[in-house]
Amino acid sequence: MTLSFGTDGVRGPAPEILDQRFVTCLAVAATEILSADRWIVGRDTRESGPALSEAMLSAINHAGISAVDCGVIPTPTIAYLSKIENSGGVVVSASHNTWTDNGVKIFAPGGRKLFDQEQELIEKKLNELLSDTTATPERRPDSIQHPNPTEAWMNSIAEAIENRSLDGAHVVIDCANGSASHIAEPLFRGLGAKVDLINAEPDGRNINQDCGSTHTESLSKIVQSAGADIGLALDGDADRLIAIASNGELIDGDRQLCMFATDLDSQNMLLNRSVIITVMSNFGLRQAMRQADITTIEVPVGDRNVLSRLDDGEADLGGEQSGHLIFRKHATTGDGLLSGVLLTDLILRRGNNSAALASEAMQQFPQILINVPVDSKSFTITTDIQKEIEITEERLGDNGRVLVRPSGTEAVIRVMVEAVDEPLAHGEAQRLANMIRSTID
């Protein structure tokens, strides 16, 4: 079994499949396909990270190219450094996955995500190298350490809020025991906020474990008990954000996107009065944007797809329900800490009541999502499954929406149904999921 690129890099069990040889071959392939005479490498806090990162650095050095080690650092920081230092960028991380997985995210010089053709060429070369047992170079762990990998990036976040202070804001930050554990508090305190930090003691195995952007229950309770203005939940590599309002309610990526879009539009700062959304974006977001006379441009799931349309110049704001938001004026990829600072600043400017602002932003339509495990990520939607999808759409009519798609990162089929009535959405989603399970069996 080998691994292939998904919607955001490559990831899998480590070291069972994603091991030192794999990342070594991937590094060789990336340096051969991409034109970069310098690479910046970082990682999150997983137990497998140091060995995989060292193998990546060694392979780049062996190719005669400068490799700079940033150690444990958020993915968006590597993307920012790749941009301002015109270097290739690599992050050894499996994002929101558990510690038993790891992965690799690659940025081309300029901090951009890879074009489809570049990704395909790297994957082709990778598979060639993996099939040749003589292809692994000797180890050369002689990379250099980056002198100050976070300073310029933190300054850019301060500039994004026009150097305003966050004084008066009480923020609780859940670092998911990930790569922002040592950075989040200094960033927000430096901007003037009062900060309570949780899940910021990584041990190699507790990354994303019952915490962070995929498990916000404890953060919700703490925000309410502490009387905080906002809670910010990051994922393991800090490129996404799920927020918690002062009343404990969830502010997912859709609601954040709605809040940011309408705020920017009110200041005449929303390019083309447009925003990029994905096929998973809630119907409530679409409805709110239509009422605000803001155009929504839909793309497939994946922040790489959002970024691609942003770079076409049609809009400068886009994002996903999962909390990947991209502010193209300020960053080349999703940045959970940038989003958190911008959201805190918005709340301060708009009266310091995150619960009211979030509630007023949009009506959240019940959305039921069921993941159906399949044998591989290459599973395709059959004619029978498509027919059942169409029957469900007819039953829902104008009062709901159906989306069934293979995941780009996991071996599952994602079944999503939206409807005004939650029991109806749940029943239709369960029926479709059961039908897919019976087809697989």
**How many Å apart are CA 242 and CA 211, to the nearest integer?**
11
For residue 245, give the amino acid letter.
A
**How many Å apart are CA 116 and CA 125, to the nearest integer?**
14
Instruction: Please tell me what DSSP assigns to residue 346.
Output: H
With CA atoms as reference, report the closest residue to 236 among 410, 424, 91: 91
- The set of long-range contacts for 122-131, using a CB threshold of 8 Å and a minimum separation of 24, is 122/5, 122/26, 122/29, 122/30, 122/33, 122/34, 123/4, 123/5, 123/29, 125/28, 125/29, 125/32, 125/33, 126/25, 126/26, 126/29, 127/2, 129/25, 129/28, 129/29, 130/2, 130/21, 130/22, 130/25
Residue 84, pLDDT score: 97
Tens digits of pLDDT across the chain (441 residues): 466 777 678 999 999 999 999 999 999 999 999 989 999 999 999 999 999 999 999 999 988 899 999 999 999 999 999 999 999 999 999 999 999 999 999 999 999 999 889 999 999 999 999 998 765 655 555 679 999 999 999 999 999 999 999 999 999 999 999 999 999 999 999 999 999 999 999 999 999 999 999 999 999 999 999 999 999 999 999 999 999 999 999 999 999 999 999 999 999 999 999 999 998 899 889 989 999 999 999 998 888 899 999 999 999 999 999 999 999 999 999 999 999 999 999 999 999 799 999 999 998 889 899 999 988 766 777 888 899 999 999 988 877 889 998 887 678 999 999 998 899 999 999 999 999 898 876
Domains of the chain: 10-148 (3.40.120.10), 161-361 (3.40.120.10), 367-440 (3.30.310.50)
**How many Å apart are CA 232 and CA 219, to the nearest integer?**
8
Contact (CB, 8 A) for 366 and 405: no
Residue 98: strand, helix, or coil: coil
* Partners of 90 in beta bridges: 41, 106
Residue 305: strand, helix, or coil: helix
Instruction: At 46, list the tokens.
Output: 């997983």
Instruction: At 369, list the tokens.
Output: 């999502």
Alpha helices in 227-316, H assignment, sequence order: 253-266, 283-291, 303-310
**How many Å apart are CA 203 and CA 412, to the nearest integer?**
29
Residue 1, pLDDT score: 47
Other Cβ atoms closer than 10 A to 130: 18
- The set of long-range contacts for 344-349, using a CB threshold of 8 Å and a minimum separation of 24, is 344/166, 344/169, 344/171, 344/188, 344/193, 344/229, 344/230, 344/232, 345/161, 345/164, 345/166, 346/259, 346/260, 346/263, 347/169, 347/229, 347/230, 348/164, 348/166, 348/168, 348/169
With CA atoms as reference, report the closest residue to 54 among 81, 83, 82, 19: 19
Matching residue, tokens 């974006």: 281
Catalytic annotation, residues: 95
Interior angle at CA 291, CA 353 and CA 357, nearest 5: 5
Residue 303, pLDDT score: 84
**How many Å apart are CA 11 and CA 95, to the nearest integer?**
9
